[in-house]
Amino acid sequence: MEQIEPPVRAVGWSPAGTLRILDQRLLPGRELERDLGTIDEVADAIRTLAVRGAPAIGVAAAIALASALPEVTRHAVEAAAALLRATRPTAVNLGWAIDRMLAVARALPPAPSLDAALRAEAERIRAEDEAMCRRIGEHGQEWMRDGVRVLTHCNAGALATAGIGTALAPLYVAHARGRRVEVLADETRPLLQGARLTAWELQRAGIPVTVLTDGMAASLMAAGRVDLVLVGADRIAANGDVANKIGSYGLAVLARHHGIPFVVAAPWSTVDLATATGAAIEIEQRGADEVALVGDRRVVAAGVAIHNPAFDVTPHALVSAIVTDRGVLRAPFPFVANVSLVPPPI
Ligand code: MRU
């Protein structure tokens, strides 16, 4: 597999060996990298979506646990892990990365060997994520015919991972191989990850992208202007139900009605075999102001009730395929419940 550079690095190490993130709250207007030296700063960055996307917050938490502890002891790792875990409940990658760091802390004597072991594990998590993205890009090529028009939701690109993204990875690979691909990016209310982030990174990579508001997808599908819906995932239950950014479920219903494949791309670390179905997935509820305010302007009268779940669950019956780093899982599921059906890592 040829190497493909992401258009941007969202999360990684600073030269000083601390966590470096690109502050996504400021995009597309301003590109500001921040080096975060305390667990509180990292927790705040995850909560406020300065760093976001399921794989990226897992990598950020791992690097934080390796570089931002007040003292490198097992007790300090446990306390910081609990704080970071509580920041966002839906993305399984966060807890998955934290559990890997905890396993290292529980197995080893105190500093300095613990310090080195934590750093090595965090780097493994980062590097594995980058490699998983690349393999997802490869496995997704069967949908990337020349001229394909892909509708995506939220941001499951380089900004959401340590590599070339998940849902956007097949597009980056196809583009690097000279195939023409075109992206329709849902703006993704209320935090506009599609408009602010997906369009920005695709433009930077030279991939044609058009932004639409979330209500426009149906008419584009009806007009025959969408070949594929391709989204990421925050958690995939054992039966194949998929939690992803609010609005993904609606797109899956629309795609089924119009006979368009609805494909999910995610690393194997997003599959949660301990969660039987989507009904058991905790959905993060966020503050009312995210909906009530557009910038500084109030667009909902004060006192009106507001509903703001960050994610929804797409039932597996509406999912055509799940592209993982290990291979493509196809409907009909409950494939995931039976791990032996899952292709081994390549
Ligand atoms: O709230 P966000 O911006 O973190 O939500 C992100 C998504 O829903 C992504 O689609 C998902 O995390 C997959 S990112 C590769």
Cβ-count burial of 261 within 10 angstroms (0-12 exposed, 13-18 middle, 19+ buried)? Answer: middle
Nearest alpha carbon, ligand 1 atom 8: 245
Judge if 76 and 100 occupy the same domain.
yes
Question: Among 119, 134, 149, where does a domain finish?
Answer: 134
296 is catalytic: no
Instruction: Supply 210's token pair.
Output: 């058009």
Q: How many domains does the chain have?
A: 2
- Residue 6 located in a structural domain: no
Strands 311-314 and 242-245, by their bridges, are antiparallel
> Which domain range does residue 35 map to?
11-134
Judge if 130 and 149 occupy the same domain.
no
pLDDT, residue 17, reads 98
Judge if 244 and 309 occupy the same domain.
yes
Residue 190, preceding bond cis, omega within 30 degrees?
yes
Judge if 217 and 244 occupy the same domain.
yes
Gap from CA of 248 to ligand 1 centroid (Å):
11
Task: Output the tens digit of pLDDT for each of the chain's 346 residues.
Answer: 899 999 999 999 999 999 999 999 999 999 999 999 999 999 999 999 999 999 999 999 999 999 999 999 999 999 999 999 999 999 999 999 999 999 999 997 776 789 999 999 999 999 999 999 999 999 999 999 999 999 999 999 999 999 999 999 999 999 999 999 999 999 999 999 999 999 999 999 999 999 999 999 999 999 999 999 999 999 999 999 999 999 999 999 999 999 999 999 999 999 999 999 999 999 999 999 999 999 999 999 999 999 999 999 999 999 999 999 999 999 877 656 555 445 555 4
Closest to 167 measured CA to CA, from 7, 323, 345: 323
Judge if 161 and 310 occupy the same domain.
yes
Gap from CA of 312 to ligand 1 centroid (Å):
11
Question: Among 134, 159, 184, where does a domain finish?
Answer: 134
Gap from CA of 254 to ligand 1 centroid (Å):
20
Which H, E and C letters describe 189-211, residue by residue? CCCCHHHHHHHHHHHHHCCCEEE
Local structure of 303: helix, strand or coil: coil
Judge if 156 and 114 occupy the same domain.
no
pLDDT, residue 344, reads 53
Give me the catalytic one of 129, 186, 234, 241. Answer: 234
Judge if 188 and 322 occupy the same domain.
yes
Q: Which atom of ligand 1 is nearest to the CA of 310?
A: 1
Ligand 1: lining residues by beta carbon, under 6 Å: 49, 52-55, 91, 154, 156, 160-161, 165-166, 193, 231-234, 244-245, 310
CATH classification at residue 185: 3.40.50.10470
In whole angstroms, give the CA distance from residue 301 to residue 236: 37
pLDDT, residue 342, reads 56
Instruction: Supply 71's token pair.
Output: 């003292």
Judge if 128 and 144 occupy the same domain.
no
In whole angstroms, give the CA distance from residue 319 to residue 255: 10
